[in-house]
Chains A and B, each alone.
Chain A
Amino acid sequence: MAPLDLLKTREGLVRTVFMAALALVPLVAYAASELFYVEFATRIMIFAIAAVGLNFILGFGGMVSFGHAAFIGLGAYVVGLAIYYGVYDGFVHLALVVVICGLAAFLIGAVCLRTSGLYFIMITLAFAQLLFFVGVGLRQYGGDDGFTFRGHSTFATWLDLRNSITFFYVVWGVLAATLFFAYRFVRSRFGMALSGIRSNEHRMRAIGLPTYRYKLVAFAISGVICGVAGALLANLTQFVSPEYMHWTRSGELLVMVIMGGISSVFGPVLGATLYLVLEELLSSATEHWQFLFGPILILVVLFAKKGLMSALKIAGLSIGGRAGHG
């Protein structure tokens, strides 16, 4: 099956329709003079990128990281600080984010992946909290209040992220590219090795694969993707704070991924969308929105056990052809 079977499979169809609909958001928002929707959709896409990044290790590698918000925060701080010190070049930002988040994920992963299961969850959480408190301790950058800055990543004179429409389409492009790479990765030999590790790591070692280094590379890739999402988030909010790295943020990211469905590449995009839309709707209705959000989550888990992506399958949205990946 080709990786870009845009309409052939159910997942391909959902993905194509969804991404096309997203691309139309700015037009609709302009027509309705509701520019807020552009910003909101941008936010959704940023968290969708992070969720796809997390699912790369969660769904396909079986590693439940409870600390991936740390990489979002790190990416955001890198861009925030660069702009704070007058560096606006987007390519420099990107290079810094890839190197710093990649290195951080590599080091954190190197320690965390010595463990597995519950211990892995706890130790990723511990590292994220460590970075959170480092952020709180940075008094010259606002401590736990964080800091605001003015300016955006600029890639070329005609391509800076100040214009909210340009920014929207750049984020759309990054999401599309992330999805494309994720599809290639999970079907490649590397992806197959990763599913083997998730399915039966013991056996994977027995057939001769040193599993640790594969998990570590996957973890680092996943950290970089979340870092890029963080860099985009900083551009969107013009603000960074340790709160981005708080453990509840890592939890939200997990909820997005699980709600969307961990067994498909695209599921987490749906999960991030549903999460943020619900949050928006419910919090505008009541201050105690989490009181309503909780039960809805329980319903999703009860009735769409494998996430929204599989729920769509059961609802019969299939138009011939089975899911691209198990």
Chain B
Amino acid sequence: MAESLLTIENLTKRFGALVATDGVSLAIEPGEVHAMIGPNGAGKTTLVRQISGELRPNGGRIFFEGREITPLPTHRRTHLGLVRSFQITSIFPDLSALDNVALAVQVHQGHSFHFWRDAREERCLRAPARAMLEQVGLIARAAVTAADMSHGEHRQLEIAMALASEPKMLLLDEPMAGMGPDESQRMVELLRGLKGKVTILLVEHDMDAVFVLADRITVLVYGRAIATGRPEEIRANKEVRRAYLGDGGGG
């Protein structure tokens, strides 16, 4: 276990009588794309929110690079390299695409108590930000106000912002949600390009994308991890088929 990037031990989260995360244990290896699937209400987002630090678990522990991070707030985890991208698009709508990413670069570079120099003229902010936009294929849209961009572009921007903080691990919560087939395809290509460069925990409904991208898959049902394995193992797993893939959800 020592070499795992992220280790979750017996994580539990209750909302009143509802057990949203029920003793989940999981180990994510450096460099892998680990997908998490499960029917609606299986507690995928709840789990991601605990990993990112937005929700406190009721029990269990989370380790990142061997260090316990269970009590750390979100921004501390971000600085360690554990970075989340959002299910509901969460950008800075009234700033340009480039400003959005430059802001993420700026925060990553340290504190922002600089009152004098024009941040829009700092090369050390603008150049990396441009590089990120290039990487996600948005460079042509750099000057566009984020609010005026399409949903698919928002998701790309979202990834660029997450990359700006040079993450060791990305938590991607449904990056393809609400996308048309073309946009989804572009996102799959984008993520495939990141494969190997950054470890990814991917929560996704789009099974085609999951089976194309994932090195390993964990299946979550009613807050419990019922199976973890390589895509072909998951496809063959009887329990998984019964709980999830079997009833018409395979495509």
Contact = CB atoms under 8 A, between A and B. Distances in A.
A196 B107 CA distance: 11
Interface string B51-68: 010000000000000000
A139 interface: no
A192 B99 contact: yes
Contact of A209 (B86, B95, B107, B145): B107
Determine the main DSSP class of B at the interface with A: mixed
Contact of B112 (A2, A192, A199): A192
Contacts of A192: 99, 102-103, 106, 112, 119-120
Given A190-B113, A209-B107, A195 B92 contact: yes
Interface stretch (A76-84, A97-105, A180-188): A180-188
Given A193-B112, A195-B94, A187 B120 contact: yes
Interface residues of A, number: 29
B91 A200 contact: yes
B156 interface: no
A267 interface: no
A188 B114 contact: yes
Contacts of B107: 193, 204, 207-209
Interface string A164-202: 000000000000000000001101111111011011101
**Most chain-B Cβ atoms within 10 A of its Cβ — which of A1, A184, A190?**
A190
B106 A193 contact: yes
A3 interface: yes
Contact of B165 (A3, A204, A208, A326): A208
Contacts of A1: 118, 120
A189 B104 CA distance: 11
Contact of B114 (A190, A198, A200): A190
A191 B125 CA distance: 14
B12 interface: no
B88 to A, nearest CB: 10
A222 B215 CA distance: 52
A113 interface: no
Interface in B62-92: 74-75, 78-79, 83-84, 86, 90-92
B117 interface: yes
A137 interface: no
Interface string A270-297: 0000000000000000000000000000
Contacts of B240: none
Given A184-B116, A199-B93, A207 B86 contact: no
Nearest to A198: B94
A19 interface: no
A204 B118 CA distance: 20
Contact of B90 (A198, A202, A208, A209): A202
Sort A-B residue pairs by CB-CB distance and give the 5 closest, nearest first: A208-B78, A199-B92, A193-B112, A189-B114, A189-B112
17 contacts: A3-B118, A187-B119, A187-B120, A188-B118, A189-B106, A190-B113, A192-B106, A196-B103, A202-B90, A203-B92, A204-B103, A206-B74, A206-B75, A207-B103, A208-B78, A208-B108, A209-B107
Interface of B: 52, 74-75, 78-79, 83-84, 86, 90-95, 99, 102-104, 106-108, 112-120, 122, 145, 161, 164-165
Interface of A: 1-3, 184-185, 187-193, 195-196, 198-200, 202-210, 214, 217, 326
